[in-house]
Structures are given as C-alpha cells and as structure tokens.
Amino acid sequence: MEKKFGIKDIAYIGMAVALIETCKMALAFLPNIELTSFWLVMFTLLMGWKAFFIVPIFIAIEASLYGPHVWVIMYLYVWPILVLLTHLFRKNTNVLFWALLSGFFGLFFGALCTPAQVIFFTKPDTFDTAVKAGFAWWVAGIPYDVAHAVGNFTLMLVLYTPIRIAVNKLRTFSH
Amino acid sequence: MEKKTRNLLIGLGVFAVLIAVLLIIFNLNKPQAQPAPAAETETAETEESVNTDEQSEEAETADEQTAEEQNAEDTASDEATDDAEGSKNIVIEVKDSEGNVTTYDVTTDAEFLRQAMDEAEGLTYEGTDSEYGMMVEVVNGEQAIYAEDNAYWAFYVNGEYGNYGIDSQPVTDGDTYSIVYEAAN
C-alpha cells in the first residue's frame, strides 16, 4: 500500500462511509446487529492506517442525521480502537480469529463507551456519583452488548471469507 | 498450525465465558421491574417546570392515554378516572431537614407517583425535567439540590430505598411513599 494519501483513498473512504451508512440503516430495526464493525475491519485490511479517516467522516454524517450527543465523543475513540486492533493484526487470515475480534469488540462496546458517559455527566465534586451512575448505565446495557457480540461474531464468521477475497483482489489490482 | 487453532478455540471459550459472566453481572444488578418507557419520553424536555394545576392536568390526561396502551391490568381503573376518588389508598410522607414528618393520605388512580403527588392536597414540589423523568429539587418550599445544598430528596417505598424517579415509580394500593431530606456525607 502506498504511504501517501491519494485520490483512490478518498474514493475508498467515500465508499466505506456509504456502505456503512446503508448497512446501518438497513439493519436499524435489529438492536445492535450492525455491519459497521465488519466494514471498518475490512476497509482497514484494504487501506491500512488510512482507514482511521473513515471514522470522523462517518461520525459527521451520523451526527448530521441524528443530531449530536454524547455518543459522538464515544464514537470518536471507540471506533479508532477497532481500526487500531485490526491494523495490528492485519497479517492474520483466520476466519475464527476475526470473528472473535469482532465479537469481543461488540461485547466491550458498552464498557468502552462508559468512560465518556462518566466524564460527560460529571459535575464538580460529584465524580463518585457519576462513576456509580456510569456503572449502572453499563450494567443496564449488558443484554445489548451480548446481542452486539453475538451479532458481530456471526456476521464476521459468515461474511469474512467472500469479502476478504474481494479485498485481496482490490489490493493486487492497485499495485 | 495446530497450536494456532487451539489458541483460537481457547479464545472462543473465553468469549463464551465472558458473555456468561456479563449476563450474571446484569442479573445481579438489574432493576426488579422494567420502568414504563412512555413515562420517560413524556417528560423528555430539559426545561424547568413547576407543578401548576394546568401542567398536572395535562400530565394526567397524557398518562391516561399512555396507560391504556401499556397496561391492560389498569384499564378497568382508568375508565373511572374522572372522579377525584380512586381505587388505591396510599400514604405519602414528607420528612424535612428538621425531621418533621407531614403525612398525606391519598386515594388515587394514579399509575405513577408523580400524579399521586399532584393529587395530594397541600403537597407542593418543583424540579427539573430530564430524560429520566423529573428530578425533584424543592418539596413544600424546601430546596435540596445536590450541587448547591449538599443534600437531596430521597424516595423510599415502604421504608426501602426507591429504585425509580417519580415519573416511573408505580403506585400500589396500601404502599407508603416517603420523601426524605437527606444530607450528603
């Protein structure tokens, strides 16, 4: 992959955001079953570190559609964690490995979001209360985290092989 | 290659165990009943509000509408809500910062505590609406805002610490609801 940021990367980012948004809306009726993680992993495998740029653009579109809230701050650090993990393990080609990575990410999504929730709702000298409220907030979301984990695991298990073939083809085409 | 597969299988095991552990944590900490969602969205504004008669009437009619949708059990009692008298007899106690207790006997059809408080004669309260319902700040003219007064109005149901705000606390016949001024440590 080229080190420089090129026109092709801009096109890839556009495609990625379009795909993520479309899939997100199509699956919006199922709680926490999403392809956002899947596409971020796949585009990271395709683009390398440049995939980090997908995240802020995706968030900008989401915020303009649904209105900004605390989740904007959460997304700003949670999704880059996934991109970073994917980039670190990019050499791995085992389906089960990626399904597990995706699943674990889903499982800890709520936990990863909790710090932002705590910090955002802390007033001076009420940090303890905010931590307790944050814990309660996380616990209340556990069923959704589990759904997220199972959904991510299954989707990655099913979709990894065909899309990885496409990714590999695209990579060889471009060089 | 074999070692890799074994590691992945271990990972799969850890994944399953973690899901189980998180579900156990959830079950140990979860609230006893699901709060009614309609009551929360109803007050999902961030403006200050005072319980003037007008507003409480509005809240009552809105509650009647949503109550019919959510709760089939209560439909029978909802039909007779035009009268001031209701089917549930409850006690609301207010304990102020000096320890003086004022008791209100209320006969109501209210589904949630807020309506019953509106119906209690002589009881006044003010607060801030949030996405979780009203945060009560002033009761009978006494203010307890955590950030300002280092105290808060605590809610007890039959002596047990309440799990809900006034907009989602269900009203049950024979229960005692205590509103207590508590200083933070």
pLDDT average, residue stretch A104-119: 91
Domain that holds residue A132: 7-174
Nearest chain A Cα distance for residue B128, angstroms: 16
* Among A5-9, A85-89, A134-138, the range of highest mean pLDDT: A85-89
pTM attached to this predicted model: 0.58
Nearest chain B Cα distance for residue A17, angstroms: 29
pLDDT average, residue stretch B157-185: 87
pLDDT 10s digits, A67-77: 888 889 899 99
- Which residue has better confidence, A38 or A121? A38
Cross-chain Cβ contact B19/A149 below 8 Å = yes
pLDDT average, residue stretch B152-166: 87
Task: Give the separation between CA B50 and CA B138, rounded to whole angstroms.
Answer: 10
User: With bands split at pLDDT 50, 70 and 90, how would you rate the model's confidence at A82?
Assistant: very high
Q: Is the confidence at residue B73, as pLDDT, over 50?
A: no
Nearest chain B Cα distance for residue A150, angstroms: 9
A97/B contact by beta carbon, under 8 A: yes
Class for domain B37-183, per CATH? mainly beta
| Helix (H), strand (E) at residue B88 | strand B88-95
Share of chain B above pLDDT 70, in %: 69
A 74-93 residues with CB < 8 A to B: none
A142/B contact by beta carbon, under 8 A: yes
User: With bands split at pLDDT 50, 70 and 90, how would you rate the model's confidence at A1?
Assistant: low
User: With bands split at pLDDT 50, 70 and 90, how would you rate the model's confidence at A86?
Assistant: very high
- Which residue has better confidence, B143 or B146? B143
Indicate the average pLDDT of chain B. Answer: 75
Contacts of B109 (CB under 8 A, 6+ apart): B77, B78, B80, B81, B86, B87, B88
Nearest of A120, A119, A114 to residue A136 by alpha carbon: A114
Q: Is the confidence at residue B55, as pLDDT, over 80?
A: no
Pairing, β B88-95 against β B176-183: parallel
Domains in chain A: how many in total?
1
For residue A23, the domain's CATH number is 1.10.1760
Q: Is the confidence at residue B52, as pLDDT, over 80?
A: no
Cross-chain Cβ contact B8/A153 below 8 Å = no
Cross-chain Cβ contact B19/A107 below 8 Å = yes
| Residue of chain A with shortest Cα separation from B19 | A146
| Residue of chain B with shortest Cα separation from A93 | B4
Nearest chain A Cα distance for residue B87, angstroms: 33
Residues of B in contact with A145 (CB under 8 A): 22
| Structure-token pair, residue A106 | 């889903």
The pLDDT of residue B149 is 85
Task: Give the separation between CA B181 and CA B185, rounded to whole angstroms.
Answer: 13
**Boundaries of every domain in chain B:** 37-183
* HEC sequence for A65-121: HHCCCHHHHHHHHHHHHHHHHHHHCCCCCCHHHHHHHHHHHHHCHHHHHHHHHHHHC
The shortest CB-CB distance from A142 to any of B15, B22, B31 is to B22
Phi, psi of A93 (to 5 degrees): -125, 10
Q: Is the confidence at residue A160, as pLDDT, over 90?
A: yes
Residues of B in contact with A94 (CB under 8 A): 4, 8
Q: Is the confidence at residue B65, as pLDDT, over 80?
A: no
Q: Is the confidence at residue A24, as pLDDT, over 60?
A: yes
Share of chain A above pLDDT 90, in %: 61
Checking ipTM against 0.85, whether it exceeds it is no
